[in-house]
Amino acid sequence: MKGEILIKNAKLADGRGEHGSADVLIGEGRILSLTGGDASTVLDATGKVLSPGFFDPHAHLREPGQEVKEDLQSGLTAAAKGGYTDVVSMPNTSPVVDSAEIVRALKEKAAQIGRARLHPAAALTQGQEGKILSEARLLREAGAVMLTDDGRTNEDAGVLAQGLQYAASWGLLVSVHAEDAGLRRGGVMHEGKVSFRLGLPGNPAYAESARIARDLEVVRYVIQGPGMEALRSGKSLLHIQHLSTRRGLELIRQGKQDGLPISTEVGPHHLTLTDEHLESLNPIYKVAPPLRTRTDIEALVEGLLDGSIDCVGTDHAPHTQDEKELDLLRAPFGIPNLEVAWPLLYTELVLKRGFPLPILIERFTDGPRRVLGFSPIHLTEGAEASLVLWQPNNQRPVEPSAFASKAKYSPWEGWMLQGWPVLTLVEGRRVFASEPLL
């Protein structure tokens, strides 16, 4: 059999489990064989692991309008470097992504760039103003995969209910930034003993859990509506973004037990950092929702393990260095995550805590794909060759100055991590290769 790339001696690991070593022959955008063959390029992958490409359900790539922070070129390159083959971009840009024209333009541009694939999320309401529903049918046709007013909160439960109902009728998932604006107020960090001592406005855990509780009731209401039973067929209707609290997780776990069509994600920072990092008074730790406590981290890891949390979403949210050097009240929320998410969680969860590798891979691959209605990619003959080859043993510090993202800073700067991707393929085409492989 003749292919384009032969990856020899790679250990195979996907969302189903680990499958030993194989010689993976890739051609025509697919896995042609797991038992070798001829290829024009042969890579010796001894000691490396081959997995399905990662899928990020939540990234802010800032285009159009905020290219000073990030653009499709830098963002999708950063994604490919991080082992991601697919990225869902958030629509809170300038202008807001709320029309089929913008979705099409983004998709075309991303295809030309040819790095990770772009799946735009579009606004749930026009201009993300929370009033008039956006054109779900036309947006879906243009390639939008999700509707969300992320960046803002859905204060009007009635509009959310109608949006859910309408989006579901066109097969689109709705995702929400679940925080009650009134309870959150001007909070810039988790409300707790650290914020009280530092004199910084706090954002209580209950701002998130109160909003999740409301939204689950909205889902219960919406699924009573006409035709909803037939439409949902096990798919998620409401996706709760960047879960950060133990209490929020409890509500979601209960909701899922009750059979509600919901899903959720967790970000790498909410699994590895706490509010105590704010004691440095460095706005690099300012994210929304805020870094919580050790108790929350323990609960979230448990939720990721038992499947209450469907997937890891990076919430990659780059800003300029100047913006992040404003004070803690004025600096914007967010940090760049795409290039560190996998090595970070592989190191901190799998290596340090014994979290099962196949489950973590599942939460980076099948999990997000399932939430968004994409079929899973498993390492079998005939499967789509959107893959990542990563290095489980080489330890290397996080070096933000070498980021492909325009945001060249990181709260994990200097952390020694393993699991760095060395090769990312989208349908058999190289979208990232580390230098030794070039």
Partner 1 sequence: MNETATPSFPKHLLDFQDWRRTQVESLLETAQMMQEVLARPVKKVPALTGFTVATVFFEPSTRTRISFELAARRMSADVVSFSGAVSSTTKGETYRDTLRTLEQMGIDAYILRTDAAGVPHQAHRWLHKPVINAGDGWRAHPTQALLDAFTLREKLGDLEGKKIAIVGDILHSRVARSNAELLPMLGAKVVACGPATLLPGSLPGTTLTTNLKEALAEADAVMALRLQKERMDKGLLPSLPEYIAGYQITEERLRWARPQAPLLHPGPMNRDVELEGTLADSPRSLVERQVANGQAVRMAVLYHVLVGKKS
d(CA 311, CA 370): 9
The two tokens of residue 384 are 């789509």
Q: Is position 333 annotated in a ligand binding site?
A: yes
Contact 384, 369 (CB under 8 A): no
Cβ within 8 Å of residue 151, ≥6 positions away: 60, 90, 92, 128, 177
221 binds partner 1 (CB under 8 A): no
d(CA 354, CA 356): 6
Give me the least distance between CB of 9 and partner 1, in Å please. Answer: 47
For residue 216, the SS3 value is helix
Residue of 94, 196, 375, 380 interacting with partner 1 (CB under 8 A): 196
DSSP code for 400:
G
Q: Is position 378 annotated in a ligand binding site?
A: no
Residue 95: is the preceding peptide bond cis (ω within 30°)?
yes
Q: Is position 54 annotated in a ligand binding site?
A: no
d(CA 271, CA 210): 21
Give me the least distance between CB of 327 and partner 1, in Å please. Answer: 3
**Positions in 267-296 near partner 1 (CB under 8 A):** 280-283
The two tokens of residue 43 are 């890579």
Distance of CA 24 to the CA centre of its chain: 27
Residue of 330, 375, 380, 416 interacting with partner 1 (CB under 8 A): 330
Q: How many chain residues interact with partner 1 (CB under 8 A)?
A: 21
Contact 198, 277 (CB under 8 A): no
For residue 230, the SS3 value is helix
Among the residue ranges 70-78, 191-199, 244-252, 258-266, the one whose residues contact partner 1 (CB under 8 A): 191-199
327 binds partner 1 (CB under 8 A): yes
d(CA 191, CA 275): 9
**Would you say 9 or 320 has its CB closer to partner 1?**
320
Residue of 328, 351, 383, 437 interacting with partner 1 (CB under 8 A): 328
Instruction: Give the closest residue to 59 by CA, choosing from 124, 151, 134, 137.
Output: 151
d(CA 339, CA 341): 6
**Would you say 26 or 291 has its CB closer to partner 1?**
291
Residue of 192, 303, 419, 421 interacting with partner 1 (CB under 8 A): 192
Give me the least distance between CB of 197 and partner 1, in Å please. Answer: 6
**Would you say 2 or 330 has its CB closer to partner 1?**
330
H/E stretch holding 108? helix 100-113
Residue of 65, 131, 171, 193 interacting with partner 1 (CB under 8 A): 193
Give me the least distance between CB of 226 and partner 1, in Å please. Answer: 41
HSE-CB at 18 with a 13 A cutoff on CA atoms is 10
Among the residue ranges 98-106, 187-195, 335-343, 430-438, the one whose residues contact partner 1 (CB under 8 A): 187-195
**Positions in 135-164 near partner 1 (CB under 8 A):** none
Concerning whether 366 is annotated as a catalytic residue, the answer is no
Residue of 20, 112, 158, 197 interacting with partner 1 (CB under 8 A): 197
Give the N- to C-terminal CA distance of the chain in Å, as an integer. 24
Tell me which of 315, 322, 327, 366 is the catalytic residue. 315
**Would you say 158 or 199 has its CB closer to partner 1?**
199
d(CA 251, CA 375): 28
Give me the least distance between CB of 33 and partner 1, in Å please. Answer: 53
Q: Is position 190 annotated in a ligand binding site?
A: no
* Percent of residues in the chain assigned helix, strand, coil, to nearest 5: 35, 25, 40
d(CA 214, CA 164): 14
d(CA 313, CA 176): 13
Give me the least distance between CB of 205 and partner 1, in Å please. Answer: 12
Residue of 199, 354, 382, 436 interacting with partner 1 (CB under 8 A): 199
Contact 135, 169 (CB under 8 A): no
Q: Is position 92 annotated in a ligand binding site?
A: yes
Q: Is position 316 annotated in a ligand binding site?
A: no
Give me the least distance between CB of 277 and partner 1, in Å please. Answer: 13
**Positions in 301-320 near partner 1 (CB under 8 A):** 320
Catalytic positions are 315
Residues at the binding site for Zn(2+) are: 58, 60, 150, 177, 242, 315
* Binding site residues, partner 1, CB under 8 A: 191-193, 196-200, 280-283, 320, 322-323, 325-330
Binding site, residues?
58, 60-62, 92, 150, 177, 242, 315, 319, 333-334
